[in-house]
């Protein structure tokens, strides 16, 4: 059975690892949660033991949901007397996206209406609503006209551990605190005899969460107080009781063995008082060494030789973020605990940079709606390098490039956060003297790595080669500093002078494939071995459009390349896909991409053929076709193809394969291309949609590609 565990954005991979460690058969990270394969018993164990999940949702129905009538009918068709008793209270949490259902509260009301009507017809009594402590909490998600109705097994937000009595102005959620601790490897630090220090402890969330982890206390014990978290009739109460018995035994042993290893400091005496109150409620009275002191007074006296520093310094709009405060924090840690590890949740990358600490790892997390940067430094103050090893300050030209890169990142930040974009173009010859494109690729893994793909553009002949090399080196230096990536994570495609003029030089042969994420799809890229990476970033909106329109469609991908569009169609629930390309290498890449997302078998057909010749012989019918041909092809295995001269015949053959209501998307990157509108009008209705398919990171070059939508006459 599959269920879903939700979490804050940025915690997905940690949560997946945690659920696997708890015994689930499979856990796959997705946006703001994890898709899990496991039994109901696994899900109940997660309710009790997960430190990172926000909710554990057990699905009971999934159905098409084009509008509110379909929503009501789908919920009303469920046998609700099998899920709750007469007299039980309910609450509904709803999350909707799309054009038909746009208001979550209205959707929740319609779910409630359907449940009430079914129960009243079956029992003669209607259930009451209790939004705070219902007997049954129902969860609704509507996305892409598909509804999933689930039971919230935890009965509400799982970050609430049950001990918090006092909190500061901007409290840190307990599951986010657990992530800060786990990224800093706190369990291992404690096992090795280290301590835990929070020099700006506020109400003590990080310290208390750290102590409960060290004491092996299940997060759900205090939250549920020994009672079942839901009155859902499908809940296995006998198994829950067995889980509680085991957790209580572990808690007793863990608390008895807990050693003094926790140190809290804060400038505000009231904050120290709040920590003491919370410490008592968590059953940790006297465990934490607390003192009212500012960071400038931080001393190593009484601290262990090694340990982990954790902190959540002020950063949001209510607690004015001060770079000087972050600098003071970094200086204090270097002075007092230079050999400790640090895991600091900072407001953003610039504030994190202000600490002056060298971060080995950086993570983007969300504290509620606030995007934060978590940095991990180990140790806080590494040994001084020899002068010859010190990083060189950027020269004037490199600094100019660095400033432009930072400006571009700020401009794209809101879009990247809203769309979850991790692969994007950061620079595209914005400064004419530094003529190159810089693309960023972030791997889709538990500890994401950032790679840069840099492509040099051809310089005018009058520019001396030495000047070109200097400018390229300055651009690379700026990129490595801004993105903080080592040399080996920069793929550089340079142009070398040859008999045929300016052309690309030697490529690496590393055979290194990286897996990245684009919306709901995982895709493999190779940055070093080929001119192109396997993923055309400018076509991102087109691929997302295909995913949105692929429901139950027969999809055809002509000139399929590495099959990224095919994967999106499959993710979008296409009935079948066919991918045509002449290259066996690209078709294997497509097969690997499909397998990466769990798709295989006869439904996903791969055809090694010249697309033009194949179309002439094919008699299949397709609901959705994507055609993105190369500008020209003179392969020995295919007839010569020229985009300008051959596009009408190509489109005529492709449109002939469309179903009655089918759609063909035609795209190309030939800058001088002119569509023969009169000829195309003879067999298709055609509409240019280029502006809708250019993403913000390519907006400066709005003609990076052109795209049309065609339908049969």
What are the tens digits of pLDDT across the range 134-158?
Answer: 999 999 999 888 999 999 999 999 9
Q: Which two tokens stand for residue 94?
A: 């709803």
Using the structure block, give the residue that is written with the tokens 């002949």: 461
Look at residue 569 in the predicted model and tell me its pLDDT: 97
With bands split at pLDDT 50, 70 and 90, how would you rate the model's confidence at 631? confident
With bands split at pLDDT 50, 70 and 90, how would you rate the model's confidence at 322? confident
**pLDDT tens per residue across span 365-376:** 888 878 889 999
Look at residue 499 in the predicted model and tell me its pLDDT: 41
More confident: 439 or 634: 439
Look at residue 323 in the predicted model and tell me its pLDDT: 84
The Cα 454–Cα 477 span in angstroms is 12
The Cα 553–Cα 83 span in angstroms is 35
Q: What angle do CA 640, 537, 477 make, to 5 degrees?
A: 115
Using the structure block, give the residue that is written with the tokens 């209406």: 113
CATH of domain 413-504: 3.30.750.80
**pLDDT tens per residue across span 198-225:** 999 999 999 999 999 999 999 999 887 7
The Cα 116–Cα 127 span in angstroms is 6
> 708: which strand partners?
666, 688
CATH of domain 2-152: 3.30.2130.30
Cβ-contact 556, 626 below 8 angstroms: yes
Closest to 456 in 3D by CA, of 525, 506, 504: 504
Look at residue 500 in the predicted model and tell me its pLDDT: 42
Tell me phi and psi for residue 445, to 5 degrees.
-150, 175
- For residue 502, pLDDT beyond 50: no
CATH of 536-712, picked from 3.90.226.10, 3.40.50.150, 3.30.360.10, 3.30.420.40, is 3.40.50.150
- For residue 511, pLDDT beyond 70: yes
Look at residue 222 in the predicted model and tell me its pLDDT: 85
Check for a shared fold between 174-215+258-377 and 413-504: no
Look at residue 171 in the predicted model and tell me its pLDDT: 74
Q: What angle do CA 118, 124, 130 make, to 5 degrees?
A: 65
Q: Mean pLDDT over residues 234-246, rounded? A: 96
The Cα 318–Cα 193 span in angstroms is 38
Look at residue 225 in the predicted model and tell me its pLDDT: 73
**pLDDT tens per residue across span 548-587:** 999 999 999 999 999 999 999 999 999 999 999 999 999 9
- For residue 348, pLDDT beyond 90: no
Look at residue 577 in the predicted model and tell me its pLDDT: 98
The Cα 349–Cα 484 span in angstroms is 11
Distance of CA 617 to the CA centre of its chain: 42
With bands split at pLDDT 50, 70 and 90, how would you rate the model's confidence at 387? very low
* Cβ-based neighbours of 201, under 8 Å, separated by 6 or more: 207, 264, 265, 266, 271, 272, 275, 290, 311
Q: Mean pLDDT over residues 652-677, rounded? A: 94
The Cα 447–Cα 449 span in angstroms is 7
Q: Mean pLDDT over residues 309-326, rounded? A: 76
**pLDDT tens per residue across span 250-269:** 999 999 999 999 999 999 99
Q: Which of 229-238, 411-420, 649-658 has the lowest mean pLDDT?
A: 411-420
According to DSSP H, which parts of 170-288 are helical? 174-183, 186-191, 205-214, 219-224, 237-257, 269-281
- For residue 413, pLDDT beyond 60: yes
Annotate 681-697 with three-state secondary structure: HCCEEEEECHHHHCCHH
Look at residue 633 in the predicted model and tell me its pLDDT: 61
**pLDDT tens per residue across span 680-709:** 999 999 999 999 999 999 998 768 899 999
Cβ-contact 495, 502 below 8 angstroms: yes
The dihedral region occupied by 145, where left means phi > 0, alpha psi between -120 and 50, and beta the remainder, is left
With bands split at pLDDT 50, 70 and 90, how would you rate the model's confidence at 321? low
Q: Which two tokens stand for residue 656?
A: 């002939």
The class of domain 174-215+258-377 in CATH terms is alpha beta
Cβ-contact 162, 225 below 8 angstroms: yes
The Cα 314–Cα 200 span in angstroms is 9
Q: Mean pLDDT over residues 168-192, rounded? A: 90
Q: Where are the domains of the chain?
A: 2-152, 174-215+258-377, 413-504, 536-712
- For residue 489, pLDDT beyond 90: yes
- For residue 597, pLDDT beyond 60: yes
More confident: 250 or 349: 250
* Cβ-based neighbours of 145, under 8 Å, separated by 6 or more: 64, 65, 66, 98, 100, 551
The Cα 336–Cα 303 span in angstroms is 9
Tell me phi and psi for residue 347, to 5 degrees.
-65, -45
Q: Which of 3-7, 8-12, 99-103, 689-693 has the lowest mean pLDDT?
A: 99-103
* Cβ-based neighbours of 19, under 8 Å, separated by 6 or more: 5, 27, 34, 36, 38, 42, 46, 50, 53
Cβ-contact 292, 232 below 8 angstroms: no
pTM across the whole model: 0.72
Look at residue 37 in the predicted model and tell me its pLDDT: 94
Using the structure block, give the residue that is written with the tokens 């002191």: 293
Q: Virtual CA dihedral for 609, 610, 613, 619, nearest 10 degrees?
A: 40
Q: Mean pLDDT for the chain?
A: 91
Give 609-650 as a DSSP string.
S-HHHHHHH----EEEEEE---SEE--TTS--EEHHHHHHHH
Report, in angstroms and rounded to the nearest whole number, the Rg of the chain calculated over CA atoms: 29
According to DSSP H, which parts of 461-571 are helical? 465-483, 540-549, 564-571
Cβ-contact 548, 520 below 8 angstroms: no
More confident: 486 or 224: 486
């Amino acid at each position: 059975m599959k269920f879903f565990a939700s979490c804050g954005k940025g915690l997905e991979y940690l949560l997946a690892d945690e659920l696997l460690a708890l015994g689930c058969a499979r856990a796959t990270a997705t946006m703001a949660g994890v898709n899990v394969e496991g039994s109901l018993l696994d899900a109940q164990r997660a309710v009790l033991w997960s430190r990172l999940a926000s909710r554990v949702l057990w699905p009971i129905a999934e159905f098409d949901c084009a509008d509110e009538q379909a929503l009501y009918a789908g919920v009303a068709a469920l046998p609700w007397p099998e899920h709750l008793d007469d007299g039980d209270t309910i609450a509904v949490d709803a999350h909707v996206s799309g054009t038909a259902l746009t208001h979550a509260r209205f959707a929740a009301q319609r779910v409630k209406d359907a449940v009430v009507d079914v129960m009243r017809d079956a029992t003669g009594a209607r259930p009451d609503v209790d939004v705070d402590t219902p007997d049954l909490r129902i969860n609704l998600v509507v996305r892409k006209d598909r509804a999933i109705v689930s039971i919230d097994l935890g009965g509400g937000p799982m970050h609430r551990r049950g001990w918090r009595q006092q909190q500061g102005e901007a409290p840190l959620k307990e599951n986010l605190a657990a992530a800060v601790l786990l990224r800093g490897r706190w369990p291992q630090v404690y096992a090795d005899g280290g301590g835990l220090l929070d020099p700006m402890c506020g109400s003590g969330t990080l310290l208390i969460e750290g102590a409960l982890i060290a004491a092996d206390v299940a997060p759900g014990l205090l939250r549920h107080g020994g009672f079942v978290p839901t009155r859902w009739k499908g809940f296995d109460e006998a198994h829950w009781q067995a889980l509680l018995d085991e957790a209580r035994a572990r808690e007793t042993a863990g608390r008895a063995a807990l050693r003094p290893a926790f140190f809290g400091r804060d400038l505000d005496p009231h904050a120290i008082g709040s920590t003491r109150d919370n410490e008592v409620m968590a059953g940790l009275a006297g465990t934490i060494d607390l003192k009212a002191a500012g960071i400038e007074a931080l001393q190593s006296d009484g601290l262990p030789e090694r340990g982990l520093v954790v902190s959540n310094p002020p950063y949001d709009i209510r607690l004015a973020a001060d770079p000087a405060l972050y600098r003071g924090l970094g200086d204090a840690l270097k002075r007092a605990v230079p050999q400790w590890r640090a895991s600091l949740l900072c407001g953003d990358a610039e504030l994190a940079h202000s600490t002056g600490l060298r971060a080995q790892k950086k993570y983007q997390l969300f504290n509620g709606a606030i995007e934060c940067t978590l940095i991990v430094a180990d140790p806080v103050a590494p040994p001084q390098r020899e002068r010859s090893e010190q990083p060189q300050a950027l020269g004037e030209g490199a600094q100019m490039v660095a400033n432009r890169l930072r400006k571009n990142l700020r401009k794209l930040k809101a879009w990247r956060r809203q769309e979850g974009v991790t692969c994007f173009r950061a620079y595209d010859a914005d400064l004419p003297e530094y003529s190159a494109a810089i693309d960023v690729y972030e791997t889709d893994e538990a500890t994401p790595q950032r790679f840069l793909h840099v492509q040099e553009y051809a310089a005018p002949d009058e520019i001396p080669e030495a000047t070109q090399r200097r400018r390229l080196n300055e651009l690379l230096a700026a990129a490595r500093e801004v993105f903080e990536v080592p040399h080996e994570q920069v793929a550089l495609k340079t142009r070398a002078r040859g008999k045929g003029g300016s052309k690309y030089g030697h490529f690496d042969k590393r055979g290194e494939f990286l897996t990245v994420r684009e919306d709901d799809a995982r895709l493999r890229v190779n940055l070093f071995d080929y001119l192109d990476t396997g993923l055309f970033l400018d076509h991102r909106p087109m691929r997302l459009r295909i995913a949105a329109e692929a429901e139950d469609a027969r999809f055809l991908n002509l000139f399929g390349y590495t099959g990224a569009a095919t994967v999106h169609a499959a993710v979008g629930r296409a009935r079948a896909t066919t991918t045509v390309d002449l290259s066996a290498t690209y078709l294997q890449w497509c097969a690997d991409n499909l397998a990466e997302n769990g798709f295989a078998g006869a439904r996903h057909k791969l055809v090694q053929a010249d697309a033009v010749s194949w179309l002439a012989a094919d008699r299949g019918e397709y609901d959705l076709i994507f055609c993105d041909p190369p500008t020209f092809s003179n392969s020995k295995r295919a007839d010569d193809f020229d985009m300008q001269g051959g596009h009408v015949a190509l489109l005529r053959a492709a449109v002939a394969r469309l179903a009655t209501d089918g759609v063909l998307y035609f795209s190309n990157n030939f800058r001088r291309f002119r569509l023969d509108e009169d000829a195309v009008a003879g067999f298709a209705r055609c509409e240019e949609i280029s502006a809708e398919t250019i993403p913000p990171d390519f907006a400066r070059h709005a003609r990076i590609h052109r795209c049309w939508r065609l339908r049969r006459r």
